[in-house]
């Protein structure tokens, strides 16, 4: 994919659609059809609010499905995310991304191909991380070959030092892994996040990722993946090439609350002051 032409800007703001618990998840309603209706309705409503607020793209993920499967999710999860993503695609023409937690890139790519999405987010694309699901390993070799087999121009946005995880590698390797993710893993964009959902990325860590990108002579975009607010977005876009925003766009700043179009508009306005 071509990053800037996809989003219509070189510094896109991507808003999150955090799906509620899907059928089969521990916290889903007992009535599976009710759970599916609730997820579809929320996805469509959040997509409309994000579009009205002025974001440049949307990412949908099965956020409410904790505890997450570490790698492959079962077919009912793929089906449910596909249905919710179709509802989002029906509501807006904004570029769409798919993330299947915790790390099912094959499912995300397959859903993206089915609904015409533009990119996927992969939490662990190369290397390995210790997570609450155990050790999660990257499968870049499988993900890129599947994309070729499907014949779709779907970008792979891959995390580095992904939130809710710790490295298996020696201290100081994180920045170096940018080259593995982008140059060897062929990621189309790299995401730098804070330690958890809604938590700010460390400024020095973000600068280190960008510096490592530049040192290797790469032009892979770097996105901030968590903790972005109206107060911080301008400074962050002075370093990074875009941001994925969830919690700050929700009613009351609560991650699981509905998207607030006014909060979206405030953050977009703050970003527009510098881009």
The pLDDT tens digits of the residues spanning 149-172 come to 999 999 999 998 777 877 776 665
- Superfamily (CATH) of domain 3-273: Aldolase class I (3.20.20.70)
The pLDDT tens digits of the residues spanning 73-116 come to 999 999 999 999 999 999 999 999 999 999 999 999 999 999 99
Which pLDDT band, with edges at 50, 70 and 90, does 175 fall under? very low
Per-residue model confidence (pLDDT) at position 171: 60
Per-residue model confidence (pLDDT) at position 251: 98
Which pLDDT band, with edges at 50, 70 and 90, does 199 fall under? confident
Q: What's CA 171's distance to the chain center, in Å?
A: 25
9 CB burial (10 A radius; 0-12, 13-18, 19+): middle
261-272 vs 32-53: helix crossing angle, rounded to 10: 40
The beta strand positions in 149-202, using DSSP E, are 155-160, 165-167, 189-192
> What is the rounded CA–CA span in Å between residue 80 and residue 39?
9
The pLDDT tens digits of the residues spanning 56-68 come to 999 999 999 999 9
The pLDDT tens digits of the residues spanning 217-250 come to 999 999 999 999 999 999 999 999 999 999 999 9
Per-residue model confidence (pLDDT) at position 172: 54
How many Cα atoms are found within 13 Å in the side-chain-facing hemisphere of 187? 31
User: Taking the model in full, what pTM does it have?
Assistant: 0.94
């Amino acid at each position: 994919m071509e990053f800037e032409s996809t989003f219509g800007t070189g510094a896109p703001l991507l808003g999150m659609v955090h799906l509620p618990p899907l059928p089969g998840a521990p916290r889903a309603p007992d009535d599976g059809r009710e759970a599916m209706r609730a997820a579809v309705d929320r996805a469509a409503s959040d997509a409309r609010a994000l579009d009205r607020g002025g974001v440049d793209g949307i990412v949908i993920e099965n956020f409410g499905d904790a505890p997450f499967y570490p790698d492959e999710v079962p077919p009912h999860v793929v089906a449910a995310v596909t249905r919710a993503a179709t509802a989002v695609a029906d509501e807006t023409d904004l570029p769409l991304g798919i993330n299947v937690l915790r790390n099912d890139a094959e499912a995300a790519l397959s859903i993206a191909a089915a609904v015409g999405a533009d990119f996927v987010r992969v939490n662990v694309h190369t290397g390995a991380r210790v997570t609450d699901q155990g050790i999660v390993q990257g499968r870049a070799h499988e993900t890129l070959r599947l994309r070729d087999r499907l014949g779709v121009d779907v970008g792979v946005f891959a995390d580095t030092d992904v939130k809710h995880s710790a490295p298996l590698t020696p201290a100081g390797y994180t920045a170096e892994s940018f080259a593995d993710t982008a140059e060897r893993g062929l990621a189309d964009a790299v995401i730098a996040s804070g330690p958890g959902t809604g938590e700010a990325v460390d400024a020095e860590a973000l600068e280190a990722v960008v510096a490592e990108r530049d040192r290797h002579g790469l032009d892979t975009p770097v996105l901030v993946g968590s903790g972005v607010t109206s107060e911080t977005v301008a400074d962050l876009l002075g370093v990074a090439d875009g941001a994925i925003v969830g919690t700050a766009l929700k009613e009351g700043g609560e991650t699981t609350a509905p998207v607030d179009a006014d909060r979206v508009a405030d953050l977009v306005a703050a970003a527009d002051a510098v881009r």
